[in-house]
Each structure stands twice: as structure tokens, then as C-alpha cells.
Amino acid sequence: MAKRPQPRFPEPHTEPFWEGAQQGELRYQRCNEDCDDPVVFYPRHHCPACGSDDLDWHVSAGEGTVYTFSVVRQNRMPGFIDLGAYSVAYVDLDEGFRMMSSVVGVDDPTTDISIGQRVRVEFEEQEEGDYPIPVFRPIEED
Amino acid sequence: MAQERQAAIVGIHEYPLRVAPGVSAMNVKVDSIRAALDDAGLKWSDIDAIYDAQDGEAGGGLQLAAYLGLRPTVLDTTQVGGSSYEFQAAHAMRDIAAGKCNVAVLSYGSTSASNRVAIGTGGRGGPATWATNMETPYGATLIANYAMVKQRHMFEYGSTDEQFAGISVATRHHAMRNPEAVKAMTDLQFVGVNEITPQDVLDSRIVADPLHLLECCMISDGGGALIIASADVARGCKKPPVWLIGAGEATKYRENGGDITTSAGAQSGPIAFGEAGVSPDEIDIAMIYDSFTITVAVCLEDLGFCPKGEVGAYVEGGRLAFDSGEGPALNTDGGGLSSNHPGMRGIFLLLEGARQLRGESTSQVPDASLAVAHGNGGLLGGTHTGGTVILAKD
């Protein structure tokens, strides 16, 4: 089972996001003002486009596109030392937010991940800690 | 319009060792400040402004003033990672122009190599924040953040590993002419202390796809110091002044739908060149923070040396070598890739830029008259800063 580092609390901005992960929801915020750029992510207390504090939480459908990625071959952090090569990616969710994550479930991350690839979120249980971590798996094409 | 020439680099020193066991970072700073004052022909008590990036064991600027035994009228503790020194040079320019001080000191000391700090491949510590809680679970090393920029650049513009490797090759060419860089690579036990080919870069192991080992900077000890003085003081110094004629500062960060291949330099560069009244094609020396090849590539584009996406073709053919006859000459001291990178390289960009404009470089470009120093701090591809400073020969 995965041994990723857990988010740590108290941290008021990100707590609703991680409570969502516990319920299998990928949450993001939207600004309720008449705002040019209403999608807010990473979680915040204000809209970075207009400064408003009138934000609501929404649930993403969990599908998106790989914007870019790397495969990490060397990491001295506990939890990653023994993992072998693993991916780190920015995923553009269809609702318009970009999140850092990992693309999992491929045979070889050095060859089987590509920019533009369609991916879907899943919540990866961890060996320790209360929070499953949202990661992405390529969507099988028919 | 005539350039404003109100502040100049008048004293420089780069700490010669990259492996300095038993030495403290504060020692490196103070030894470097003393040597830079000697270089300028100024004395300890002439210093009336301290700029400090909060490095050294004692903590930030207030402690440095106490340690040095000085009571400056300006104390600036700007800490924006590797670009701290470009930001500080910009602040020293305007503080001197405003009459707040006459002799400013910038200093750096680090023992990253002796302390075995895993800068590129370790985790980030500190308290949980709105940003770390969203990233820490994914194990994105510092290098991975830069690698993701290279991946996207190659995808979007068709740039190639061979083209990026040319940046490593040019830098090593310069390092082999710099005895301190050769000693650095020897002391840090580089596999080969010699000139390299693009194929050598491609054959080196991948640390984080698509970045190879020879595209990554070293982790060294080291430091240095820089004295910036008013025009009146500069005229009485031992060496010809190197004028600060333009500066720009900027930040950039991950944004929904943003372009990861454009850095903060796209904002800081035009401000600096505009203030200086010069254009990139007039620049002889490009001192650009080479944490990785991709950092140089993106910043060359963002500073306006070539259009966005075209850096691959721009660097092909070896124009970045000091003896190419084309220019600009890149990182003529050997850069962070092959000479000196204790963690915040920004000060060395200014030091080598000044050496070139004095005619003192080990890879001297004949008649070099204009240099740009561009520092990138933080994480390219994530939250980062860009500080651009234009330097001119007297």
C-alpha cells in the first residue's frame, strides 16, 4: 500500500478539500461574484482574480487532461525512497482547475504517460493516516 | 535617452572553495566582504547599507549587522531564493539614487555540500500551508518541478534533448578555463572533469524525466560578496566601476490554464531593459541562473534573446560559447552546472558579469560592454521569482 505523506492540520484553507477526499469527492471552489476568472484552486479564503471572499465549494467530475509530467527517479524523502520511478503531473480538470497529482496504474511511467492523455481521479488509500490521496489513472479508450 | 549611472559595482569577491569543511557560512560571508572591500579600496566602516538574504547560521540581517559590528542606515532582508541578489542589487540601486546610502554590501555564505543538503532531491520541510498540503503527497522534488517545464517545452515547441544539452556543453567549456571551477568539480568528485559533448549529456542518467544529470547544477559550499556604491564613491575606487543601469523584479506561480513555459523573466526582463535603454541583441554576456538547462532556455526566451519556443534553434551551433563570435556568451564562469551552486546562485551572476565588464574573466569576451544578470528563485514551473539586472562597462 502507498506511503505518501499526509496533509497536515490545522490548515484551514485545505481542510474542506481533504474532507472531500475522505468522501471520494474532488472538491474545488468557485467565486460567486461576477468575476472574469471564477475557478479557484488551490483552496483559498478569497478569489485571487477579484479579491472576493464569497466562494462556494463544488465537486469535480474528476476527469481531465495531463498538462505536463515528470517521472522522478531519485527522491530521498521517506515514503518515496523505495517507490522506484513514479510520476508527478499537472492535470487540467475539465472544470478549469489545474492540480498537481500523480498518474498511476501504468506498466511503465517512463513510457506510458503523455501530455494530452485523458485521466480520471481515484482516491488512493494510504498505509498510514486518515486521508486517501487523489491520483489519476488513464481513461481506457474504446 | 542617456542612461542613469548612479550606482556601480565597485568591489567583488567569490569565495574560492566549493568544499569547505569546518567553515561556517558566516565566515564565508565575512571573509568575502573583507576581500570585496579590499578589491574596491574601501574600508570596513565605509559600509552604510546591508542587504542580506537571511543565509548564514545567525539568521537574517539584524544578526548580520551585529555580527559584522556595523550600524547601517539601510537594512534590506529580501529573501526570494536564488534571485535574492538581483532583487537586492535593484534595491541598492534605488536606495543609492534616493540618497539613503553610499556603500552597500551584499553577501552570501553556504555550506550546503559539507552539510549534505539534498537541495534537488529532498523534501521540503516547514509548517503545513495552503500550498504544501496540496503538493507534498505527490513527491515532487525540486528537480521534478523544473523537469515538468522541460517536458511541456519539448511537447509544445519541438525542442530536443540535444538542443538543451548544448547549454551544458557551453557552460562546461567555460568551467574548464576557470581554475576554481575545475577545483570545484574535482573536489565534488565529478565523474569526468573535462569538456563534454551533447552525447555525454544524453548518456548521463535521468534524475527526473526529461532532465539528465548533466543538465543539473552541482551542490557546493561557497559564497561571495559584492560592494555597490554611489557614483561619487565609485570614482575613488581602485577598479573601474561596473554600472547598474536597469533592473526589474517579478513573480510567477501555478495558475489554472497558465503557461508553464513562460517564467517571471517575461515580466522582469522588459522592465530592466526598458530602464537601461538597451535591447537584448546588444548584450555581450548573459549570466542566467542555470539551476538546470531548462531554466536557461526559458529565460533566454523570456528576456527576449529569441521568441518564445525558439530557444532550441537559437542555441544550436554553439553561439553561447564565449569564443563563438556570435554571442551572447552564457555563464562564462562555468555556471551552476559546472562551477558554483551552494543553493542561491544569484550573487555569482553579478560577480561574473562584473568580471567580464572589467576584463577579468577566465573566459573573457573581447570588449564586453553590456551584461545581463538574471536570477530565478523558487521553483520554475511552480512559484518563483525573476530578477533582472543590466550591467554596463564604465
The pLDDT tens digits for B289-331 are 999 999 999 999 999 999 999 999 999 999 999 999 999 999 9
B138 close to A (CB below 8 A)? yes
- CA torsion sign for A101, A106, A109, A113 is negative
Rounded-to-integer distance, Cα A91 and Cα A68, Å:
7
Interface test with A, best of B129, B142, B151 (most A CBs within 10 A): B151
Q: What's the average model confidence in pLDDT over A22-35?
A: 97
B109 found inside a domain: yes
B341 found inside a domain: yes
Rounded-to-integer distance, Cα B26 and Cα A138, Å:
51
Q: Do A18 and B260 touch (CB under 8 A)?
A: no
Q: Which residues of chain B have pLDDT under 70?
A: 1-3, 58, 123-125
CB nearest A39 (choices: B121, B130, B256): B256
Q: Shortest CA distance to B145 belongs to which of B171, B119, B127?
A: B119
- Give the model's pLDDT for residue B4: 75
What residue in A sits closest to B141 (Cα-Cα)?
A75
Beta carbons within 8 Å of B339's beta carbon, 6+ residues apart: B18, B174, B175, B178, B180, B181, B184, B333, B348
Q: Do B138 and A4 touch (CB under 8 A)?
A: yes
A17 close to B (CB below 8 A)? yes
B201 found inside a domain: no
A111 close to B (CB below 8 A)? no
| Residue B255 burial (10 A CB sphere; 0-12, 13-18, 19+) | middle
The reply to whether the predicted model has a pTM over 0.95 is yes
Query: How far does CA A1 lie from the centroid of its chain?
Result: 19
Interface test with B, best of A75, A86, A110 (most B CBs within 10 A): A75
B342 found inside a domain: yes
- Cβ within 8 Å of B, A 22-81: 37, 39, 41-44, 67-77, 79-80
Answer yes or no: are the C-beta atoms of B350 and B189 closer than 8 Å: no
User: B389 pairs with which residues across the strands?
Assistant: B247, B373
Q: What are phi and psi of A126, to 5 degrees?
A: -115, 150
Q: What are the helix and strand counts (H, E) for chain B?
A: 14, 12
B120 found inside a domain: no
Fold assignment, A62-124+133-142:
OB fold (Dihydrolipoamide Acetyltransferase, E2P) (2.40.50)
- Give the model's pLDDT for residue B1: 44
Q: What is the pLDDT of residues B230-254, one digit of tens each?
A: 999 999 999 999 999 999 999 999 9
Rounded-to-integer distance, Cα A75 and Cα B266, Å:
31
Rounded-to-integer distance, Cα A38 and Cα B51, Å:
40
Give the E-state strand segments of B89-217 in sequence order: 103-111, 206-208, 211-212
- Show the domain range for B353: 7-115+219-393
Rounded-to-integer distance, Cα A18 and Cα B318, Å:
50
Q: How many domains does chain B have?
A: 1
Answer yes or no: are the C-beta atoms of B22 and B47 closer than 8 Å: no
Q: Do B131 and A42 touch (CB under 8 A)?
A: yes
B125 close to A (CB below 8 A)? no
Q: Shortest CA distance to A50 belongs to which of A62, A63, A25, A33?
A: A33
DSSP notation for A9-40? SS-TTTHHHHHHHHTT--EEEEE-SS-SS-EE
Q: Do B257 and A96 touch (CB under 8 A)?
A: yes
Whole-angstrom CA distances from B21 to A74, B67, B186, B210, B337 are 26, 21, 15, 33, 21
Q: What does the block give as the cell for B2?
A: 542617456
CB nearest A75 (choices: B121, B129, B254): B121
CA distance B149 to chain A (A): 8
Q: Do A90 and B254 touch (CB under 8 A)?
A: yes
B50 found inside a domain: yes
What residue in A sits closest to B137 (Cα-Cα)?
A5
B150 found inside a domain: no
- Cβ within 8 Å of A, B 282-301: none
A94 close to B (CB below 8 A)? no
Task: Write the CATH number for B74.
Answer: 3.40.47.10
Q: Do B140 and A90 touch (CB under 8 A)?
A: no
Q: Do B121 and A102 touch (CB under 8 A)?
A: no
Beta carbons within 8 Å of A17's beta carbon, 6+ residues apart: A27, A28, A43, B133, B134
Q: Shortest CA distance to B237 belongs to which of B35, B37, B94?
A: B37
Report the phi/psi class of residue A85: left, alpha or beta, with left for phi > 0 and alpha for psi in -120 to 50. Answer: beta
In which residue ranges of chain A is CATH 2.40.50.840 found? 62-124+133-142
B147 close to A (CB below 8 A)? yes
Q: Return the SS3 of A111.
A: coil
Confidence of residue A140 (pLDDT cuts 50, 70, 90): confident
Pairing state of beta strands A63-72 and B329-330? Answer: unpaired
What residue in B sits closest to A126 (Cα-Cα)?
B137
Answer yes or no: are the C-beta atoms of B166 and B159 closer than 8 Å: no
Q: What is the pLDDT of residues B108-124, one digit of tens each?
A: 999 988 888 887 777 66
What residue in B sits closest to A102 (Cα-Cα)?
B138
B207 close to A (CB below 8 A)? yes
CB nearest A75 (choices: B130, B137, B141): B141
B128 found inside a domain: no
Chain B residues whose beta carbon lies within 8 Å of the beta carbon of residue A42: 130-131, 134
- Give the model's pLDDT for residue B3: 67
Which amino acid does the sequence have at B209?
D
Answer yes or no: are the C-beta atoms of B296 and B290 closer than 8 Å: yes
- Cβ within 8 Å of A, B 31-90: none
Beta carbons within 8 Å of A3's beta carbon, 6+ residues apart: A78, A79, A126, A127, A128
Rounded-to-integer distance, Cα A28 and Cα A43, Å:
7
